[in-house]
Amino acid sequence: MLLGRQTPVTQSYSPELLYPMPRAPGRQLIGCSDSLPFAGTDLWHAYEMSWLDATAKPVVRVGRFAIPASSPNMVESKSFKLYLNSLNNTRFDSEGQVANIIKRDITKVVGADVALELLTVSAPTLAGAALQGLCLDDVNVRPPRGEPAAEMLELLSTEPTEETLYTHLLRSLCPVTGQPDWASVWINYRGRALAHESLLRYIIAYRNHQEFHEQCVERMFCDLQERIAPEFLHIQAFYTRRGGLDINPFRSTDPMAAPLPRLNRQ
């Protein structure tokens, strides 16, 4: 793995830089390796994409990648960054050719079809959105103790409740480098009513928890599902960019549900 190591800049197209991260070990830790209780997508934005056109003139785009949660592998983020930068000084006949090559390479690494949009840097669809629902950031909360666990999530009622909640207070740690990752979390559910203070305390408990972005969200989903027995549950984390990439894991009980767009914070 290249993460945590000094690496030279690659001057030519190098798909061998891409490093697969199997999802199975993380899912075994939360007890969902045999059958997935969720569907979803890992939505990535790559803000540092460039290559040369047929005349050797630079082209700059923002890439939006959608990697299915059902894929056997994730792609390690530093290897992704280095791979994209390996395209910088390579000529391509057309933008379509670039898109096809990148989709092919990422699909091979993750083991499932990947969707890719190449957007101009001023594309309206890149505008940051504001989260809808009730913000928990001003809720008074007791300091959490220990690692996040489903038992932290307290119920107000066993009667079905539908609500949309979010917080900007998520911090987790990279399991390789120990460096902090920052994110907002959005939750929409119908199920047994959560005590808001306990939910915020649970999310804050990730502050010193070491796990990859996608694994943190899947752990949250499974813990929430255990506690609230939802009729439906959607959860998405919006991690701020690192190395020109942001990652937005989305998990849902509905296989047809789509992730939300990026935030201004990213």
The pLDDT value recorded for residue 11 is 79
Q: Which residue type is seen at 118?
A: L
Of the candidates 68, 75, 42, the one whose C-alpha atom is nearest the C-alpha of residue 250 is 42
Alpha-carbon distance values, 87 to 66, 83, 105, 140, 207 (Å): 20, 7, 12, 48, 35
Tokens of 227: 């506690």
The pLDDT value recorded for residue 32 is 87
**What single DSSP character describes residue 20?**
E
The pLDDT value recorded for residue 10 is 77
Alpha-carbon distance values, 227 to 65, 97, 139, 158, 178 (Å): 32, 48, 20, 10, 29
Q: Which residue has the tokens 């949309």?
A: 164
What CATH number does the domain located at 134-252 have?
3.30.1130.10
The pLDDT value recorded for residue 3 is 57
What CATH number does the domain located at 15-126 have?
3.30.1130.10
Q: Which residue has the tokens 């990213």?
A: 266
The pLDDT value recorded for residue 116 is 98
Domain boundaries, the chain: 15-126, 134-252
- How confident is the model over 156-183, as pLDDT tens digits? 999 999 999 999 999 999 998 899 999 9
Within the chain, where are the H helices?
24-29, 77-85, 95-110, 196-204, 213-228
Q: Which residue type is seen at 55?
A: T
- Which residues are designated catalytic? 174, 181
d(CA 152, CA 195): 10
d(CA 67, CA 116): 9
State the CB neighbour count (10 A cutoff) for residue 2. 18
Cβ pair 200, 167 in contact under 8 A:
yes
d(CA 44, CA 116): 9
The pLDDT value recorded for residue 8 is 67
The pLDDT value recorded for residue 235 is 98
The percent of the chain in helix, strand and coil, each rounded to the nearest 5, is: 25, 35, 40
Is 134-252 the same fold as 15-126? yes
Concatenated DSSP letters for 199-237?
Answer: HHHHHHGGGG-B--HHHHHHHHHHHHHHHH--SEEEEEE
d(CA 164, CA 135): 9
Which regions in the chain score pLDDT beneath 50?
none
Cβ pair 250, 259 in contact under 8 A:
yes
